[in-house]
Amino acid sequence: MVRLKFKKESEGLFIMDTTLDKEVNVILDYVVQVQNGRLKIERLCYEIGELAKHGISLPPNMQGLTDEQVEELKLVDEWQEKCIPSGGVKFCKDDIGRRSGQAPLENMQKVLNDTVEEAKQKVSKKHFENNKVVTLEDVKDSLAILKGAVTIVYPMGLPPHDPITAEFEGEEDLSGTQMAKEILDGKNITFWCCGKEMPPGDKPLSQYLGKNEKTTVIIKITKKGHGCPAREPVVSEQEQKLMMAHAYRRQEEIKKLAENEDADYLASPWADPGSLKQQLHGVSNIKWR
């Protein structure tokens, strides 16, 4: 199995294990599914955290309005009575005005928050640093447990306008947001390895990476037509920190030696002019009781 470490610019994304007979197109499709799935989980985890704090999302025509404006316009959120969390609600106002403020009780909040943490851990970026693989099954498992937790807390479901509902149904609208720029478009990306492009196609990985399965390769993901990305640094960030720490300690030692002008060394045994004579006469290291 060859290990592929995918990066976008200098950011580590995830690691996968595969074989060199796989086609580049197959790998590209897999990468798009995993990375976009990880981004979806990230968005869901944020929204479910907000759901636990402030309850369901308000209708679009009520978001951002003050209580006085809602009353003046005679707007009513009919979904508050339909989407009640298990066990009841407690009020926690959303200062942004996106959610109703009808939050679940603490035990149900714990269910949501614990599941969010579990889902994050499954596809965390820390796995890249720890050289651990993230698979498409991990992504699917994370989505499944998040959906299950929301169903437990809200058995009647969430409003159709809630971002969580849109994410689960694959109908999220990210246009005009920063998150939209992070989504990978399989038709507009290409791979680079060792300064050479691996364009999408039916050629196997061995065409570009050789035939040694027991190897680890860093693959950069870029947009088509953007040219070769920057090469990896000779030393890693961690190694650079260790080298800088060593150089600093050495500099401090030299500084202390330069400041020390005392003749401390004269008290050392090797600096005693009579030490040889004492050794010849056998009177060195004499101790008095």
Looking at the DSSP assignment, which residues form a beta bridge with residue 193?
196
Place of tokens 């099954």: 137
Helix (H) or strand (E) holding 226: none
Helix (H) or strand (E) holding 31: helix 24-54
CA gyration radius for the chain?
31
Place of tokens 């499954």: 122
pLDDT at 287: 65
Q: Say if CB 139 and CB 123 are below 8 A apart.
A: yes
Exposed / middle / buried, residue 132 (Cβ in 10 Å: 0-12, 13-18, 19+): exposed
d(CA 242, CA 226): 34
pLDDT at 270: 66
pLDDT at 144: 96
pLDDT at 275: 77
Instruction: Give the model confidence (pLDDT) of 218-258 as tens digits.
Output: 999 999 888 888 777 777 778 888 899 989 988 888 887 77
Q: Checking DSSP bridges between strand 89-91 and strand 11-18, what pairing results, if any? A: unpaired
d(CA 239, CA 99): 46
pLDDT at 239: 84
pLDDT at 263: 58
Task: Give backbone dihedrals phi and psi of 141, rounded to 5 degrees, phi first.
Answer: -65, -40
pLDDT at 16: 95
Identify the CA nearest to 150 among candidates 204, 95, 106, 113. 113
pLDDT at 233: 73
What is the residue type of 240? Q
Q: pLDDT below 50 — which residues of the chain?
A: none
How many of the other CB atoms lie within 10 Å of CB of 71? 10
Instruction: Give the model confidence (pLDDT) of 250-269 as tens digits.
Output: 888 888 777 765 556 566 66
Strand segments, DSSP code E, in 93-147 are: 102-104
d(CA 151, CA 158): 9
d(CA 209, CA 216): 10
